[in-house]
């Protein structure tokens, strides 16, 4: 039997939704599943995760599970109560806002922590069903921070890695979590704990040192008879897939059609999950400011905003959707003409083919996150460019800004700075656009998702040598 790589993440790469009696399987939103799903590895890849549905119909469950088996997906089912308290609650109403410095959005309830522990245990049991000695277990992200510790108790010699895809906040914020010690101890079940950037890694080590008072030497933590390694690996994308997409006749045709539909003006494109961390309202305010302060750009530029529905059962997200609707309506109401629409707003997910075509034609790619672990959209936009045109405006608060210095880097809280960035991008000579794209493409092509995973697994093996 070949050695297995068991990826464990909150979501499977495919999510099942139900409408009346019909079930629909769609790719899950977000960089984690998109990136890891396109990972090719020589190991037998298995995936443990939540399929996003709680079946009440056995026949449908059998049919969909047979699809999952084909992909070596192992579903963990969550009751509506667990979804409410573990996913919407502890994960997305406590850890998510704390980690993105939205401290006032944090909502505490006892049921949240109880459900978080219970679901981490369910994931542990499912992983143990398929685990065999010699396999590698790779746990992903903040929804499963207790899992490495739970697994370690049952399989003390297993090779367990953990990757944190969101920012790890500074100690001053992390210390406010009532369950801070349990969470850190859970993570320490892993042999290697990794982050996208060195600053998240430093924040984590500082929390370990101050909260658990453990010995840390540089990037090693000493716990009883174990040494745990901590490192930074910026996650990448499947570069070639995005870069070559436009060679496909069907995608090229789509790109030409989109270009025609958007008209002759320049196109700014943003693609996000609906999330208050993405700076969507500030982006709209700064675009509004551009049209107000610089009338010469009216009818010359449009903003296309793709916002994928996400976490809409969490109150904050639902409220944000209403505000976006209002802001888009207000800009379009004020500036639209018979032949020009300032903002095209799509509240739905786009297929890869459509995204690749849009990335390719967009003159400007825009990422305005207030905080973002990495932001793979920035990399997808740059990778999809063939030729000389394309400018990336990128928030300095996104992990991707560490690698993509040749973007126009902005502070997303500064509406004036964003407006100036639009002007700079709109006026940038083609020769400079081409030079910047070339430099960024070289970085993204090298640090692709395959290399990211290979580097992580290699270091995971090396970290075992301490034992």
Interacting residue ranges for ligand F6P, rule: CB under 6 A: 10-11, 29-33, 141, 165-166, 273, 310-311, 373
**Minimum distance, C-beta of residue 425 to ligand F6P, in the bound complex (Å):** 26
**Minimum distance, C-beta of residue 285 to ligand F6P, in the bound complex (Å):** 25
Which distant-in-sequence residues (6+ apart) come within 8 Å of 308 by Cβ? 29, 271, 272, 273, 274, 348, 349, 350
Exposed e or buried b per residue across 144-170, where buried means at least 16 C-beta atoms within 10 angstroms of its C-beta: bbbbbbbbbeebeebbbbbbbbbbbbe
How far is the C-alpha of 109 from the C-alpha of 113, rounded, in Å?
Answer: 7
> Which CB, 312 or 438, lies closer to ligand F6P?
312
**Minimum distance, C-beta of residue 376 to ligand F6P, in the bound complex (Å):** 9
**Minimum distance, C-beta of residue 157 to ligand F6P, in the bound complex (Å):** 28
Which distant-in-sequence residues (6+ apart) come within 8 Å of 202 by Cβ? none
Which distant-in-sequence residues (6+ apart) come within 8 Å of 391 by Cβ? 363, 364, 365, 407, 408, 425, 428, 433, 436
How far is the C-alpha of 445 from the C-alpha of 205, rounded, in Å?
Answer: 30
Length of the chain counted residue by residue:
467
**Minimum distance, C-beta of residue 374 to ligand F6P, in the bound complex (Å):** 8
> Which CB, 30 or 169, lies closer to ligand F6P?
30
Exposed e or buried b per residue across 195-210, where buried means at least 16 C-beta atoms within 10 angstroms of its C-beta: bbbeebbbbbbbbbee
**Minimum distance, C-beta of residue 24 to ligand F6P, in the bound complex (Å):** 16
Pairing verdict, β 22-27 and 14-19: antiparallel
Question: How far, CA to CA in Å, does 139 sit from each of 68, 90, 116?
Answer: 19, 18, 15
Sign, CA dihedral 64-66-70-73, equals positive
The residue assigned the tokens 């399987």 is 25
> Which CB, 165 or 254, lies closer to ligand F6P?
165
> Which CB, 441 or 447, lies closer to ligand F6P?
447
> Which CB, 31 or 390, lies closer to ligand F6P?
31
> Which CB, 145 or 268, lies closer to ligand F6P?
145
How far is the C-alpha of 51 from the C-alpha of 53, rounded, in Å?
Answer: 6
> Which CB, 26 or 121, lies closer to ligand F6P?
26
**Minimum distance, C-beta of residue 282 to ligand F6P, in the bound complex (Å):** 20
| CB atoms near residue 234 (< 10 Å) | 18
**Minimum distance, C-beta of residue 250 to ligand F6P, in the bound complex (Å):** 27
How far is the C-alpha of 78 from the C-alpha of 50, rounded, in Å?
Answer: 7
**Minimum distance, C-beta of residue 141 to ligand F6P, in the bound complex (Å):** 4
> Which CB, 11 or 203, lies closer to ligand F6P?
11
196 backbone dihedrals φ, ψ, rounded to 5°? -75, -35
Residue number with the smallest Cβ distance to ligand F6P: 30
Residue 11 tokens read as 């979501």
**Minimum distance, C-beta of residue 211 to ligand F6P, in the bound complex (Å):** 23
Report which DSSP code applies to 428: -
Sign, CA dihedral 281-283-288-292, equals positive
> Which CB, 235 or 440, lies closer to ligand F6P?
235
> Which CB, 286 or 395, lies closer to ligand F6P?
395
């Amino acid at each position: 039997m070949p050695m297995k790589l068991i990826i464990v993440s909150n979501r499977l790469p495919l999510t099942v939704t139900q409408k009346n009696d019909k079930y629909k399987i769609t790719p899950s939103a977000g960089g984690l599943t998109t990136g890891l799903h396109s990972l090719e590895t020589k190991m037998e890849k298995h995936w443990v995760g939540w399929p996003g549905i709680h079946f009440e119909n056995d026949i449908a469950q059998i049919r969909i599970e047979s699809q999952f088996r084909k992909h070596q997906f192992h579903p963990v089912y969550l009751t509506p109560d667990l979804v409410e308290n573990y996913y919407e609650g502890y994960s997305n109403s406590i850890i998510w806002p704390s980690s993105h410095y939205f401290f006032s959005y944090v909502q505490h309830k006892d049921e949240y922590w109880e459900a978080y522990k219970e679901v981490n245990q369910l994931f542990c049991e499912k992983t143990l069903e398929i685990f065999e000695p010699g396999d590698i277990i790779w746990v992903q992200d903040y929804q499963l921070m207790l899992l490495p510790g739970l697994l370690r108790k049952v399989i003390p010699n297993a090779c367990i890695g953990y990757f944190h895809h969101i920012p790890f906040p500074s100690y001053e914020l992390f210390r406010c979590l009532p369950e801070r010690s349990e969470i850190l101890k859970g993570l320490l079940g892993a042999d290697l704990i990794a982050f996208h950037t060195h600053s998240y890694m430093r924040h984590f080590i500082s929390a370990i040192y101050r909260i658990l008072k453990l010995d840390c030497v540089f990037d090693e933590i000493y716990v009883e008879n174990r040494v745990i390694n901590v490192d930074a690996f910026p996650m990448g994308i499947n570069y070639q897939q995005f870069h070559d997409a436009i060679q496909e006749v069907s995608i090229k045709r789509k790109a030409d059609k989109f270009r025609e539909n958007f008209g002759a003006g320049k196109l700014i494109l943003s693609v996000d999950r609906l999330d208050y961390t993405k700076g969507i309202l500030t982006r709209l305010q700064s675009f509004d400011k551009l049209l107000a302060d610089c009338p010469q750009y009216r009818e010359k530029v449009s903003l296309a905003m793709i916002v994928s529905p996400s976490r809409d059962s969490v109150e904050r997200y639902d409220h944000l959707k209403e505000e976006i609707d209002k802001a888009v309506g207000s800009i379009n109401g004020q500036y639209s003409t018979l032949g020009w629409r300032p903002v095209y707003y799509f509240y739905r997910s786009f297929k890869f083919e459509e995204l690749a075509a849009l990335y390719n034609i967009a003159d400007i790619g825009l990422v305005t996150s207030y905080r973002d672990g990495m932001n793979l959209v920035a990399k997808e936009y740059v990778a999809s460019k063939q030729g000389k045109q394309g400018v990336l405006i990128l928030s300095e608060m996104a992990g991707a800004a560490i690698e993509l210095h040749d973007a126009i880097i902005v502070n997303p809280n500064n509406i004036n700075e964003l407006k100036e960035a639009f002007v700079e991008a709109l006026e940038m000579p083609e020769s400079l656009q081409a030079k910047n794209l070339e430099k960024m493409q070289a970085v993204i092509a090298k640090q692709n998702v395959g290399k990211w995973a290979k580097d992580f697994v290699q270091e995971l093996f090396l970290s075992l040598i301490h034992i």
